[in-house]
């Protein structure tokens, strides 16, 4: 055991000469004890040299034991002081520090600190309304009340009950009744005051005051990639929230096949479905920067810039103050078919064909049926959302204006429709205004 001990001490203290010199005493001690000249004799004390060897053995043994103990004590103490006073401890043993930001951080505030979308919704949602269109000529089989033909959204722009929405939400057929439901669940009958079919904007007024008003922002300074929140009522589920970013700030109407109005639409990837139409597109400051208008496909939706809406509201107010007569637009006098459509430009058609294998490459033109109103002539004839109308009465359909032009003339419409790689022919009897 002594030999390994000497090697351990020598190795541990090889960098310290003082410690090494002391360890030499310990390393020579076993050899002295094993020397034949120092062994104990049993001649009863008759040999004087033997007595001296015994004394030498006792001295060396006692001194060796004491020296080893002392050296071990000193070695442990000085080694501890040396490691504490130098960087050797940090080099030999990795230091572990408990970070306050990791183990001891209070995460209870993260929900309040980082839920900025929820903060926006809390401020803006009370001013968003659900709009339901009732057909006075059709009764619901179960309730006996006028049947719901379509629904949409809107938001309050004046505390005296003025609501902004899309024109296609409230002007879609004769003999309709507009019902407006607020966030608290109360329902009011709305009156359509102003309509601009070209910009697809309309106002509805309800008999209610002291309403929460949506703050109107500016669409001229928005940036691609900016966070936005879409609030509306998809599938009649009022105050539904979706979020995304601005994909493009100025998508021209000609790119979308909307040639009747030169407008730069806001493109967003926030989910917008049928019931979102007319609802606000809100920035993180809680300001409406657009009016949700249409969805082409998943991840591609469009909103009317709020600057157009502010100009529309300004003209409508001036008209009411000067004449007191509401503007319902001559376009509303067309025969009613009951669809919302989108012109298939080459870019949009290519994108749809890439995403949907059911659209054959042979389709080069037409309009995409975006929405079919429940109970409308188009609905009764079997037309469905997602259908592509390529011909009407034998004439090629190149844009939505082709359909509008035919609706100005009497008679039924014979539509050639592409649906899931099938070509159908449907007959539609539009209603007179």
Can you tell me which residue has the tokens 């803006």? Answer: 124
Tokens standing for residue 30 = 């076993």
- Marked catalytic residue, from 135, 150, 153, 168: 168
Nearest by Cα to 255 from 305, 196, 302, 307 = 302
- Marked catalytic residue, from 150, 153, 219, 277: 277
The whole-angstrom separation of Cα 205 and Cα 164 is: 9
7: number of Cβ within 10 Å: 12
Contacts of 229 (CB under 8 A, 6+ apart): 117, 120, 121, 124, 241, 242, 243, 270, 281, 282, 283, 284
**Kind of pairing, strands 287-297 and 413-419?**
unpaired
The whole-angstrom separation of Cα 190 and Cα 105 is: 52
**Kind of pairing, strands 339-343 and 264-268?**
unpaired
**Phi (first) and psi of residue 163, to 5 degrees:** -125, 135
Per the annotation, the verdict on 220 as an active-site residue is no
Q: What is the 3-state secondary structure (H, E, C) of 217-269?
A: CCCCCCCCCCEEEEEECHHHCCCEEEEEEEEEEEEEHHHHCCCCCCCEEEEEC
For the four alpha carbons of 114, 116, 117 and 123, in that order, the dihedral sign comes to: positive
- The β-bridge partners of 302 are 267, 294
Contacts of 5 (CB under 8 A, 6+ apart): 26
- Marked catalytic residue, from 194, 196, 200, 387: 200
Nearest by Cα to 304 from 154, 420, 171, 175 = 154
- The β-bridge partners of 129 are 154
Can you tell me which residue has the tokens 């008999």? Answer: 207
Please tell me whether residue 323 adopts helix, strand or coil conformation.
Answer: coil
The whole-angstrom separation of Cα 305 and Cα 224 is: 14
Per the annotation, the verdict on 200 as an active-site residue is yes
The whole-angstrom separation of Cα 72 and Cα 83 is: 16
CB 396 within 8 A of CB 365: yes
| Catalytic residue annotation | 168, 200, 277
């Amino acid at each position: 055991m002594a030999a390994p001990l000497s090697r351990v001490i020598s190795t541990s203290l090889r960098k310290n000469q003082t410690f090494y010199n002391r360890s030499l005493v310990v390393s020579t001690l076993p050899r002295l004890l094993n020397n034949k000249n120092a062994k104990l004799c049993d001649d009863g004390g008759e040999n004087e040299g033997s007595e001296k060897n015994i004394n030498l053995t006792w001295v060396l043994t006692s001194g060796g034991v004491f020296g080893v103990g002392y050296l071990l004590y000193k070695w442990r103490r000085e080694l501890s002081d040396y490691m504490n006073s130098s960087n050797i401890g940090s080099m030999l043993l990795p230091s572990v520090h408990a970070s306050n930001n990791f183990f001891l951080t209070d995460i209870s505030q993260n929900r309040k600190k980082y839920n900025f979308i929820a903060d926006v919704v809390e401020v803006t949602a009370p001013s968003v309304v659900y709009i339901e269109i009732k057909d006075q000529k059709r009764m619901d089989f179960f309730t006996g009340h006028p049947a719901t033909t379509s629904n949409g959204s809107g938001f309050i722009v004046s505390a005296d009950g003025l609501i902004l929405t899309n024109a296609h939400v409230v002007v879609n057929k004769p003999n309709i009744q507009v019902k407006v439901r607020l966030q608290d669940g109360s329902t009011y009958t709305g009156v359509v005051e102003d309509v601009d079919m070209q910009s697809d904007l309309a106002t509805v007024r309800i008999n209610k005051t002291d309403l929460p008003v949506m703050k109107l922002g500016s669409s001229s300074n928005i940036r691609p990639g900016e966070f936005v929140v879409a609030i509306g009522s998809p599938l009649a589920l009022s105050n539904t929230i979706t979020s995304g970013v601005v994909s493009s700030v100025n998508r021209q109407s000609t790119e979308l096949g909307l040639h009747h109005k030169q407008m730069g639409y806001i493109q967003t990837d926030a989910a917008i479905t049928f019931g979102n139409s007319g609802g606000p597109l809100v920035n993180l400051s809680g300001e409406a920067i657009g009016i949700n208008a249409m969805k082409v496909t998943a991840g591609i939706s469009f909103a009317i810039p709020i600057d157009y809406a502010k100009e529309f509201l300004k003209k409508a107010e001036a008209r009411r103050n000067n004449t007191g007569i509401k503007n319902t637009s001559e376009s509303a006098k067309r025969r009613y078919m009951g669809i919302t459509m989108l012109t298939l430009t080459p870019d949009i058609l290519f994108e749809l064909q890439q995403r949907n294998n059911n659209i054959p490459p042979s389709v080069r033109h037409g309009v995409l049926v975006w929405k079919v109103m429940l109970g409308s002539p188009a609905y009764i004839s079997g037309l469905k959302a997602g259908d592509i109308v390529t011909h009407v009465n034998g004439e090629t359909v190149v844009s939505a204006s082709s359909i509008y032009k035919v609706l100005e003339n009497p008679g039924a419409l014979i539509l050639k429709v592409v649906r899931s790689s099938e070509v159908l022919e449907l007959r539609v009897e539009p209603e007179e205004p």
